[in-house]
Amino acid sequence: MFPIERYNLIINLLEEKSSMTVKELSLATNATTATIRRDLEKLDREKAIKRTHGGAVRLNNDIDPPFNLRDSEKEAEKIKIARVAIKFINDGDTLFFDSSTTVMRLIPFLSSKNGITVITNGIKTAFELGKIGVNTICTGGELTNCNTLIGLEAINAIEKYHVDKFFFSCRAVNELGAYESSTQLVEIKQAMNKNAKESYLLADSGKLNKTAFIRLNLNKIDTLITDSQVDYDWGLNVIWDKK
Binding mask 51-90 for DNA (x = CB under 7 A): -xxxx-----------------------------------
Which residue from 166, 172, 179, 169 is spatially nearest to 148, judged by alpha carbons?
169
Q: Does 19 bind DNA (CB under 7 A)?
A: no
Taking CB under 8 A as the criterion, the residue among 114, 233, 235, 242 binding a second copy is 114
Residue 85: CB atoms within 10 Å: 22
**Cα 50 from Cα 56, distance rounded (Å):** 6
- How far lies 135's CA from each of 28, 129, 199, in Å? 49, 8, 20
Q: Does 38 bind DNA (CB under 7 A)?
A: yes
Q: Among residues 121 and 223, whose Cβ is nearest to a second copy?
A: 121
Q: Among residues 32 and 135, whose Cβ is nearest to DNA?
A: 32
Taking CB within 5 to 8 Å according to partner kind, which of DNA, a second copy, none is near residue 8? a second copy
Taking CB within 5 to 8 Å according to partner kind, which of DNA, a second copy, none is near residue 37? DNA
Taking CB under 8 A as the criterion, the residue among 10, 43, 55, 85 binding a second copy is 55
**Cα 231 from Cα 113, distance rounded (Å):** 32
**Cα 213 from Cα 18, distance rounded (Å):** 27
